[in-house]
Amino acid sequence: MVLITEDLIRRRAEHNNCEIFSLEEVSLHQQDIEKIEHIDKWCRDLKILYLQNNLIPRIENVNKLKKLEYLNLALNNIELIENLEGCESLQKLDLTVNFVGQLSSVQSLKSNLHLRELFLVGNPCTEFEGYRQYVVAYLPQLKFLDGKEIMRSERIRAGQGLEAVRRRVWEQEQEYLEKRAREKQEAQDTKKNKEQRKKEESSRKPGFDGRWYTDINNTVPKVPEENKENGGNPEEEEKTRGTCTDDLDKEFWEKPCAFTPESRLEAHRHMEEKRRAKDREREKDKKAKAPRTLITAEGKVLNVNEPKLEFYLSEDEENNTIILDLAVYRHMDTSLLEVDVQPTYVRVTVKGKTFQLVLPAEVRPDSSTAKRSQTTGHLLVTMPKIQGEVKPKKTAPRLLQPSQSSEVPAEKTRKMTGPERLEVDPSKHSCVDLANIIPREKIVSQGPLKLQRPPLNKVGCNSEDFEDDPDVPPLV
């Protein structure tokens, strides 16, 4: 049984910043609600209330909603129009496809002076003879009945012969009430029979009467010879069980029954039981499913990508770190992420699914950081390495200080931004230019150059026999 709770109304009041006391419109359709409650205390300013497609059997706890203008109770189990006298501002009432069989209950809407539209399509009372004439005569404030406008001529005709129409409607109401009493009795008998059948089935099970059974043959189910040889086939057993369930479901829906509030509730209960059975089967499958192996028995860490996310693993040699870029879903809440960094691997849990990656080098888990991009949603995990190449730190640039003994030019005191290199300026070179030693004009005027041999030094000889011969070269 679904109840109207404060949390349910707040979740439906998102357009009003989840504030319920100033709420003017709320939609509670298709919630399997079986009773109207608390709304008249929490939402006094309510103007529009949607309660269609539920299991509500009675109109109640809306009498204090003075500002209510539109009430939708279509597709419910309502059998009587009541408790709406306090809704002074009510303009539209929708009771499509309910079980209103007492047409005389529409007289309770006389005090709703602002009521302009009324929908009763799909109710048993609409099949009564004189239905429309009766409603038009007793509700003069109406302008539309079942979506059809009430003309002035129709209203005048409705007042004629009203006593005979009222008597005929009363007789049909009595017939319908007797029919409903029989249907309720049949529904109770059917419910008792089902409960009795369940008790008999449970009483047939061994040990139900509290006694101890020692006969093994009666307690152990007999296995066919074929299954003994083959060791049994669980898939065939599962198929057989599923076939039996499908047959019971088919029998339930194909069994003819009257359209009553009881049959509607029974169909709802049947669907709920079927849904719960499916949920139990899913839970069993989850429990039976073996957990994924992340680390083998030998201690080997495996690479796992259950969420099937794209990732990029890189190494920053300058900062001596390993960086993991994981393409997490962009609009996923960060609370659904769990990051675990170990020395040899990193593990990220995304909505219960595991992503695990072995690292190429050992890292420092305590110094690792995890950040998420606000634009792309990617998860960036930075992990510093334990071992790596130690690089010298960059030193701050220093300025050359001038010497106290001698003056240094301003060019020498420039900022050193890197290794010092020699600068070659062609205009300031100091080497000898051999091509311009002698001016070209002088060379042209003097003619070709001649080599001049330096004069030989005369060597004197003290020997008396020495004769100086000019044709003989001197000894060096």
- Better pLDDT: 75 or 436: 75
Identify the pLDDT of residue 333.
87
Identify the pLDDT of residue 425.
60
pLDDT tens-digit series, residues 247-274: 777 776 777 777 788 888 888 888 888 8
Identify the pLDDT of residue 39.
93
In angstroms, the Cα distances linking 30 to 33, 35, 257 are 8, 13, 24
For range 233-242, the mean pLDDT: 58
Residue 405: pLDDT band (50, 70, 90) is very low
Identify the pLDDT of residue 246.
73
Identify the pLDDT of residue 263.
86
Please say if the pLDDT value at position 362 is more than 80: yes
The share of the chain scoring above pLDDT 90, in percent, equals 46
Instruction: Report the range of poorest mean pLDDT among 73-82, 154-163, 421-430.
Output: 421-430
Identify the pLDDT of residue 267.
86
Please say if the pLDDT value at position 215 is more than 80: no
For range 22-28, the mean pLDDT: 92
Residue 292: pLDDT band (50, 70, 90) is confident
Residue 219: pLDDT band (50, 70, 90) is very low
- Better pLDDT: 157 or 291: 157
Please say if the pLDDT value at position 408 is more than 80: no
Structure tokens at 333: 């809440």
Instruction: Report the range of poorest mean pLDDT among 58-62, 136-140, 460-464.
Output: 460-464
pLDDT tens-digit series, residues 307-328: 999 999 999 888 899 999 999 9
Residue 396: pLDDT band (50, 70, 90) is low
Please say if the pLDDT value at position 437 is more than 70: no
For range 318-339, the mean pLDDT: 91
Identify the pLDDT of residue 436.
67
Inter-residue contact 19 to 42 (CB < 8 Å)? no
Identify the pLDDT of residue 17.
83
- Mean of per-residue pLDDT scores for the chain: 80
The share of the chain scoring above pLDDT 70, in percent, equals 72
- Better pLDDT: 177 or 427: 177
Instruction: Report the range of poorest mean pLDDT among 11-20, 51-60, 440-449.
Output: 440-449
Would the pTM count as exceeding 0.75? no
- Better pLDDT: 420 or 168: 168
